[in-house]
Amino acid sequence: MKIAIAQLNYTVGDIDGNTSKIIGSIQNAKAQGADLVVFAEQAVSGTPAFDLLRKSTFLELCEDALVEIASCCDGIAVIVGLPILTSNGTISAAALIQDRKVLRYIGKKHITARREMGFLIPSKGFEYATIKGHKCAIIVGDDLSRERNFDHSAETVISINARKYGKGTLSYRYELMRNLAFVEGKNIVLVNQVGGSTDIVYDGSSGAFNNRGELVLMMKHFEEDFQIFDTKATDTPIEISTAGDARTQMVYQAACCGLRDFFRKNGYQKACIGLSGGIDSAVVAAIATAALGKENVRALLMPSQFSPDDSVEDAKILAENLGIEYNVIPITEIYTSVVNTLKPVIGGREFDSTEENIQTRIRMALLMAVQNKTDYILLNSSNKSENALGLCTLYGDTAGAFSPTGDLYKSEIFDLARYINRISNDVIPETILKKEPSSELHPGQKDSDILPPYEVVDAILYRMIEKGQHREEIINAGFDSDVVENIHRMIMRNEKKRYQFPPILRLSACSFGHERLMPLTNKYGD
C-alpha cells in the first residue's frame, strides 16, 4: 500500500486555511497514486486550542470542514485529526474517510499533556481498519507510547500526532518507534505537524519504520513536507544524528521556526530588540534576522554611565554584521533625572539594586515606545539560567512580547552563538563570545561576583529542573553543598518573577510555567 504522509503547518482556529491545505494535499496524493493520505492530530482545528475546544460553534465548524474534506476523497482513503464533541465531552480523534464518507472516529485514550487536560476527555483508544486490503491499526497522540500487543493480522500501525519539540525528544521518540516496530513486527507510520503555535513549536520529523525496526523514511525538521511510504518497497535504512552540532542545529531551527510563526500567525512583521553588547541579545538578534529578514529587525543601543565603551562597540559591530537598523540612545541623563526625582522619596541612600534596576526599566520604556510608535514587536532576550535564579528585573529586562531563548540555559546560549557563527561567517564578534557575563549594572559588575561559572550553575539547574533531583542527590554527585543550597533558594524565591514573564518559546522537556509550575505562595524548602 502507498501511504502519503502530509506534514503541514496548521494555525489554531484557521479552519478554512487548514482545510484548504488538507484538500490540496489530498489532490497531490491522488496525483501520485497513493492509496491513503494521513494528516496530523487536530489538523483541522490546529492545536493547542485550549478553551476553543469547549465552544460548540468551533467544534461544529470543524465537523463542517470534515464534510468538505470528505467530498474530495473519491478514489482515496484519508485519515485526518480533529476534535469531536461527544455526549461526554470533546475528544481528539482520527477521522477515517473512504469513498467520500466519514466511516468512523478513532479517539485518543491517554490525555497526558497539561495543555490538553481539562479540555479533552479520554476515548477508547486505537482501532483497526482495512484499507485497500491492508489491515492497519490507527492510533492517536501519545497512545503510541502506551499501547502494545497489536493484532497479528495488522500489518501497519498509523499514528497521528501533535508532538511538540523539546531538546532530546526526537531520539527518544524514534527509539520508541524502532523498538515497537521490531518487537511487534509491523510497519509504523508517524505523522506529526510542524510549525510554531505561540510558545510551542512542532518539529515535524514524521517518518516510517519497516517491520524490521529500520527507519526507512524521515521527513524534514521544522518545514512542511510531503512524501509517500510504500509498504512493499525495499528501502535503505536511514541513520539520524541528534548529538553535538546536530542537536544545536535543531535548537536553532526550532527557535527560528517558532519566532517566525509567532510573527506570521499573529500578523506581526517587524521586531525590535535592545542590544547590550552581551551574548544573549546578540543571539536573539541573529535568530530574529534569520527568521524575519534583516529589513524587519531594529535595535536600540542604550548605554548608561556604567556601560563599558567596548560593549557599545561590540553591539554596533554586531548590528552592522547582521545588516539591521540601529540607533544609539544614551540613557545617562534620563537615569540621573529619575534618581534625583526619587530622592525626596527614597532619600540619598547607598547605591543598591534599586538604582541598578532603574537602568533596565528605562531601557524597556524606550523599547516599548518604539513598539507602540512604529509597530516593531519587542523581543525579550532572557535565558533559562537567569529566569531560574531571578537575575532579571521585573518590568525591565523581563519585558517583551515574546522570548525565543528564555528556555535555553546560559551555556546553551553560548553553544548557539558558536553555531550561528559557523553558519553565518562569524556575525557575532569574538569579543562578545569571550566576554565574561555581566549585566553592567554598576562599575566592574560580573555575574561571577555571586555565582560559580555557568557550566557549574547550569549543570545544577538541569538536575534540579529537568531531572527533578533533590539537593542531596546533587551534592552527592560532587557539587558544592553551599552552592547547591544557594541556587535552590534563588529558584524558590523568584517564582513571582516567572509568573510575569512574556510567552517563552518552549525548547526543553521541562519549561517553567508548564511542565514545571510551582505555587507562588509556599513554604517548601524553608
pLDDT digits (tens, 9 = 90+) for 88-97: 999 999 999 9
Q: Taking 90 as the threshold, does the pLDDT of residue 256 lie above it?
A: yes
Q: Taking 60 as the threshold, does the pLDDT of residue 451 lie above it?
A: yes
Nearest to 413 by CA among 281, 256, 271: 281
Please report the pLDDT score of residue 450 as a whole number: 79
Residues 101, 65: Cα–Cα separation, whole Å: 13
Please report the pLDDT score of residue 149 as a whole number: 84
Query: Taking a C-beta distance cutoff of 8 angstroms, is the pair 303, 328 a contact?
Result: yes
| DSSP state for residue 275 in the 8-state scheme | -
Question: Residues 418-446: what's their mean pLDDT?
Answer: 85
Please report the pLDDT score of residue 147 as a whole number: 85
Q: Taking 70 as the threshold, does the pLDDT of residue 405 lie above it?
A: yes
Q: Taking 90 as the threshold, does the pLDDT of residue 431 lie above it?
A: yes
385, 386, 390, 393: CA torsion to nearest 10: -170
Mean pLDDT score across all residues of the chain: 93
Please report the pLDDT score of residue 244 as a whole number: 64
Q: For the purposes of burial, counting CB atoms within 10 Å of the CB of 522, is it exposed (0-12), middle (13-18) or buried (19 or more)? A: exposed
Nearest to 276 by CA among 326, 227, 209: 326
Q: Taking 90 as the threshold, does the pLDDT of residue 515 lie above it?
A: no
Q: Taking 70 as the threshold, does the pLDDT of residue 444 lie above it?
A: no
Please report the pLDDT score of residue 85 as a whole number: 96
Please report the pLDDT score of residue 363 as a whole number: 95
Per residue in 310-337, pLDDT tens? 889 999 999 999 999 999 999 999 999 9
Please report the pLDDT score of residue 432 as a whole number: 95
For the beta carbon of residue 424, count every other beta carbon within 10 angstroms. Answer: 14
**Helix H segments across 350-429?**
353-374, 384-389, 410-423
237 prior amide bond cis, ω within 30: no
Please report the pLDDT score of residue 513 as a whole number: 82
Residues 53, 421: Cα–Cα separation, whole Å: 43
Per residue in 336-383, pLDDT tens? 999 999 888 887 667 778 888 899 999 999 999 999 999 899 999 999
Q: What angle do CA 131, 137, 140 make, to 5 degrees?
A: 115
Please report the pLDDT score of residue 446 as a whole number: 74
Per residue in 221-249, pLDDT tens? 999 999 999 998 887 888 876 566 888 99
Q: Taking 80 as the threshold, does the pLDDT of residue 474 lie above it?
A: yes
Question: Residues 133-144: what's their mean pLDDT?
Answer: 95
Question: Residues 254-263: what's their mean pLDDT?
Answer: 98
Question: Residues 101-129: what's their mean pLDDT?
Answer: 94
Q: Taking 60 as the threshold, does the pLDDT of residue 526 lie above it?
A: no
Please report the pLDDT score of residue 243 as a whole number: 61
Residues 117, 111: Cα–Cα separation, whole Å: 6
DSSP 216-265: EEEPPBSS-EEEEEETTS---------STHHHHHHHHHHHHHHHHHHHHH
Nearest to 8 by CA among 247, 197, 250: 197
Q: Taking 80 as the threshold, does the pLDDT of residue 525 lie above it?
A: no
Q: What angle do CA 278, 419, 426 make, to 5 degrees?
A: 65
Residues 362, 345: Cα–Cα separation, whole Å: 19
Question: Residues 246-262: what's their mean pLDDT?
Answer: 96
